[in-house]
Chains A and B, each alone.
Chain A
Amino acid sequence: MRRGLLWLGALLLLGGCASSRPIDEIQIIQQMGYDFENGRYTGTAVYPTFKQGPMTKPNMLTTTSPTVYDLIPRLSSKSALPVEEGQLRLILFGKEFARRGVTQITHSLARNNKVGSHLLLGVAEESAKELLKTAANTTLSDTLYLPNLVEQNEQSMNLPKTNLHLFLYRYFSPGSDPFLPYFEKKGDFVKLEGVALFRDDRYVGHVSLRDSFLMKILLGETKNGVYQLKVGNRGKQGEDRVMLQNLWAKSKYEWKRDGSRHVLDVFVHIHASVRDYPSWLDHSGQDLFADVKKKMQNELEHNMRRLFRYFQKKRIDPLGIGDFVRSVTRHWDSDAFYREYPDLDIRPHVTVDIVHTGIGE
C-alpha cells in the first residue's frame, strides 16, 4: 500500500517535469526560408491557420537578424504562441544564403530531435522570402504547396530524390557532394527549375530539369522521368522530337586503369516507352524505331558527357563517383582522387530499349 502511494507520488511529481505542448497552444511552422540581404539574415516562417474546417490558410512571419541562430527566437517575439519547428516540411535557402554556405542550418537540423529526416531542403533562385510568399498566394488552402511539388516531381518526374537525410549523407561523405531542388519564380508562379549543386555546403551552380533526368538515371535505378529528344531536322518545332518516358533504367559503373590514366565506364540501360513521336516516323517501314533508337543513344551519351564535363569543371561530384571508386579501391585517397577528377575520362554507354509505343503496336 505504502509502496503504491510512493509510486503514485513519484508519478505525479515526475509528471510535472515534462513540458507539455498541447497541439492547439503552439505555433506550428511548416516551412522556413533563409535569406542573406545587405549583411543581415532574414528568416521567413510559414505557418498554417485553421479557420473554416480543415481548410488552411498559410500565413507568414518574417524577421531579420545579424546571425542565423537568432532567427527562431526572434520569430517568437512576433507570435502569440510559442513557435515550434517539429512539423517542418521544407526549408528554402535563398541563392545568396546558399552561396555563403548552409552548414549553420543543416548542422543544427542534424542534431534536432524534433525534425524528421524526411524534411525537404531547396534553393530559391532569388530570395526565399519572395518565393514562399508567391507560393502562399498561389494556393487557396494548401500550406504544403512546395513540399508537395517536390515530392510529386521526385515520384513521377525528373527530379532525383532529395531530403535532409540524403543531403547530410552526401555532405558528410568524402566521395560525394550534395544537391537540392532549385526553384524559380516565374511571374505569379513558382516553378521547379532543376537541381542546385553544392560543393561541400556552398551553392556553386545548377542544372536544368532536363539534365536532372540524366542525373536521376546516373544515380541508380529509377522508374520514372520523361526526356525529349531531337531525331530529325524537318518541319516546325515539335515535329522532329520524340518524347521518351522512362519505364526502368539502370546504371552501372566500371573503374578501369588505362595506361597511366583512370577510366570510368558508365553503362546505362534504359527501358523506355515512346509517348509521343512525329507522324512522319510511321512511314519509314518495319523497323520503326531502329534509327530513332540509335539517335537517342547518341544524344543521351552526348548530353551525359556534357553533364560530366560540367561537374568536372566545377569540381563537384553530386553523382557520388568518389564513393563508387572508394568501394572498388583499397586505401582510397580522397584528395588524390579529386586532384585527378577534373581530367578523369568518363565514358557513358547508353542502351535504349523501346518497350512499347502505346496502343496499336
Chain B
Amino acid sequence: MGLFSFWKKKKKRPPQRPISQLWEKLRQSSDFVEVSFVVGGKELSIYYFDSLVDPQVLQERIFCHLQNDIPQHPNVRLEDLQQIVPIQRIEVSEDTALIEEKVLKGFVAVTFREQPNKAALMGAAAENLGLRENNDSENEFSVVGPKVGFVENVGVNLHLIRRQVVTPNLVFREMSIGSVSKTKVVIAYIDGVANPEVIQTVTQRLESIHFDVVFDNAILDQLLADNSRTPFPLFISTERIDRAIYALVSGQVAIFCDGSPYAVIGPAALFDFFTSPEDYYLPWVLGTFFRLIRFFGVAFSVLASPIYVAVLTYHYEMIPEDLLGPIIYSRSNVPFPPVLEVLFLEITIELLREAGARLPTKVAQTLGIVGGIVIGQATVDAGLTSTILLIVVALAALASFTTPIFKMSNTIRLIRFPFILFAACWGGIGIIFAVCGLLIHLGRLQSFGYPYLLPFYPFRVRSFRDTFVRSPYSETAERPMFLRPRSRFRYDPNAAKQKRDIDE
C-alpha cells in the first residue's frame, strides 16, 4: 500500500472490497482484537484496536449491553443497535473504506452473521489518552487575563471556544487532512461576520493540501501560505483562547488541528503580530504605551547592530563627541573590522539561544548564565569585541523578545543578518537599501489574499484605531473594515460612547 493510496483510491474509485478482506488485513497488527460470541441465538463479531479504545467504554457500554439486552430482542438487526447500546451516533455502513477509517480512529465495529457485509460502528475511542489535560499558555504568557490555553485535543479546543462565543452563528467545519494521519482539521468562523470569500479561500486551500502526516498546525500554516519564500509568518498561530476568540469576533478565520495546541488565524496583517492580549486587559493608555515600546523594540532589534557597523566603518563623522572616546577606546584592542566583530557576537547570542531552547529547562538556565556572563565578559577581556558592542547586541537580543508571537521573533532574529551585511558593504545607504527592500517585500506579501501591510498599504485611516494606539473601548466598536466583515459593529457604538455621569 503506497503512501498516497488514500487519495489515489478516491480518484479511481476501485471496486468495493469485501469486508472480510479488511479484517484479514487488519489482523496483521497484534493490537487488533476480534471477539466472536453467540448470545440469544445471534452470532456476533466485534472488532477493534486495543490501543485506541477506552476499555471502560468498551466493557460498560458495549459488551455489557450487547450481552444482556440482545436476548430480549431476538429479531434485532444492526440498524437497531442504537436502541440497545447507550452510545451516541451508531453508524451502520457497508462501505469498507469508511469502516476501515473509523476502526482506525478507535471505533468498535460490530457485525452480525446474518448481515455479513455490514458493520455497526460505535465510537469508543480513548480521546484524551496520553494527551495533556490543560495548557497554561506559558509560551504566550500574559500576567493579566486567563491562563487557559489550547491543548492537543481538538475537541477540548472547540469546547473552549464555544464556551465564550455563545451564538448559533459560530460555525465549525470539519475535514480530514493527511493521507496517513487523517488528522481532524476544523475551520472556525462566525457566520455573518467573517467574509464568505475568506471562508471559501481557506476551505479551498485546505482541501487541496496533499500531505502524509500533519504533525502540527505549523505544517498547515506553511502549506496554506500565499508565499512560501518569505521569512515572515503570514498567519498568526496562538495558543491563547482570548486571542483566537478576538480574531473570530473581528471577522478572521481560525483553523484548529487535532494534535496541535495552536490555532492558526488568518488573514493576518503585520501589525497583528505586535499586539498582545495584555494590551486589551490594561487601560488603553498603558496598553498603547507598551505597544509602542514593542514597536520600538523591533526597530531597535533590527537596526541597532547594523547602525553600529555602518557608523564605525563609514560614518565616524556622525559620532557625538562625548561618545568618541569610549567607542575608540573600546575598539582599540579589537583585531577585527566592525562587521566581523558584530557577526561574531550576534552568532554567539544565536548559539546561546538555540542551545538554550534545545536543552532541558534546568540546564538551559545555567547555560544562559554561563553564556551571558562568562562568555560576554571573557570576549571583552580577550579583546575580541568591544564593550559597547556587547551592550548593543545584548539589548537588540532583548528587544527581539518583546514580540508576543514566537514566529515573528524568529523572523526578526533572521532579518538582522542581511541588514548587517548591507551595512558592512555600503554603510548607511546600505541600511536604507535594506529597509526599502524589506518594505517592498512586505508590500507584496498577502495573507489569504489580503495585503499584509494593512491598514498602511492600502491606506485605511479608520482602521488605525487599533494599530499603534490601542484606542479605548468606546472607540473600537467598529470592526477593522479592511477584513471586509459582513457586519460592521462588534457592539453598539453609541451605547459605548455614552457617558454615565450620574448613576441613577
Contacts and interface: CB of A to CB of B under 8 A. Distances in A.
Interface string A2-16: 000000000110110
A23 B317 contact: no
A28 B316 contact: yes
A158 B312 CA distance: 38
Contact of B317 (A14, A53, A114): A114
B118 to A, nearest CB: 57
Nearest to A24: B331
Contacts of A23: 311-313, 316, 319, 327-328, 331
Contact of A84 (B311, B316, B327, B421): B316
Contacts of B325: 48, 50, 54-56
Contact of B316 (A11, A18, A87, A89): A87
A53 B313 contact: no
B328 A50 contact: yes
B313 A21 contact: yes
A342 interface: no
Contact of A21 (B314, B319, B334, B430): B314
A48 B324 contact: yes
B215 interface: no
Among A14, A28, A50, residue most surrounded by chain B Cβ atoms (within 10 Å): A50
B337 interface: yes
Interface in B271-329: 311-314, 316-317, 319, 321, 324-329
A115 B316 CA distance: 11
Nearest to B424: A15
A136 interface: no
Contacts of B332: 24, 50
A26 B426 CA distance: 19
Contacts of B328: 23-24, 28, 48, 50
Interface string A118-145: 0000000000000000000000000010
A28 B426 contact: no
Contacts of B317: 86-87, 114-116
Contacts of A18: 314, 425-427
Contacts of A20: 313-314, 337, 427
B149 interface: no
A322 B289 CA distance: 52
Given A48-B325, A144-B321, A22 B427 contact: no
A14 B421 CA distance: 13
B261 interface: no
Nearest to A84: B316
Contacts of A14: 425-426
B451 interface: no
A12 B328 CA distance: 28
B266 interface: no
B404 interface: no
B338 interface: yes
Interface residues of B, number: 26
A90 B337 CA distance: 29
A262 B425 CA distance: 63
Contacts of A48: 324-325, 328
A50 B311 CA distance: 19
Given A18-B425, A26-B316, A50 B321 contact: no
Among B324, B327, B430, residue most surrounded by chain A Cβ atoms (within 10 Å): B324
Prevailing SS type, chain A contact patch: loop
A259 B337 CA distance: 74
Contacts of B427: 18, 20
Contacts of B329: 50, 53-54
Given A21-B313, A50-B332, A89 B321 contact: yes
Contacts of B327: 23
Among A18, A26, A84, A144, residue most surrounded by chain B Cβ atoms (within 10 Å): A18
Contacts of B426: 11, 14-15, 18
B316 A86 contact: yes
Interface in B227-285: none
Interface in A11-54: 11-12, 14-15, 18, 20-24, 26, 28, 30, 48, 50, 53-54
A110 to B, nearest CB: 16
A24 B329 CA distance: 8
A55 B327 CA distance: 12
A22 B337 CA distance: 7
A54 B319 contact: no
A12 B311 CA distance: 19
Contacts of B312: 22-23
B324 A24 contact: no
A111 to B, nearest CB: 15
Interface in B412-444: 421-422, 424-427, 430
Nearest to B326: A54
Contacts of A54: 325-326, 329
Contacts of B319: 23, 87
A84 B317 CA distance: 9
A22 B338 contact: yes
Among B319, B326, B329, B331, residue most surrounded by chain A Cβ atoms (within 10 Å): B329
A231 B356 CA distance: 78
A24 B335 CA distance: 10
Nearest to B437: A7
Contacts of A115: 317
A28 B338 contact: no
A53 B386 CA distance: 12
A361 B128 CA distance: 85
Nearest to A115: B317
A86 B338 CA distance: 19
Nearest to A16: B425
Contacts of A114: 317
A22 B313 contact: yes
Contacts of B324: 28, 48, 87
A24 B319 CA distance: 13
Contacts of B338: 22
Nearest to B313: A20
A21 B316 contact: yes
A241 B493 CA distance: 72
Among A26, A53, A87, residue most surrounded by chain B Cβ atoms (within 10 Å): A87
A115 B421 CA distance: 27
Contacts of A89: 321
Interface string A50-72: 10011110000000000000000
Among A11, A24, A53, residue most surrounded by chain B Cβ atoms (within 10 Å): A24
List 10 tightest A-B contacts by C-beta distance, closest first: A15-B425, A86-B317, A50-B329, A54-B325, A24-B331, A23-B316, A54-B326, A20-B313, A23-B312, A50-B328
11 contacts: A11-B421, A12-B425, A20-B337, A21-B316, A22-B331, A23-B319, A23-B327, A28-B324, A55-B325, A56-B325, A87-B316
Given A12-B425, A30-B321, A56-B325, 11 more contacts: A11-B422, A18-B426, A21-B314, A23-B316, A23-B319, A28-B328, A54-B326, A86-B316, A86-B317, A87-B321, A116-B317
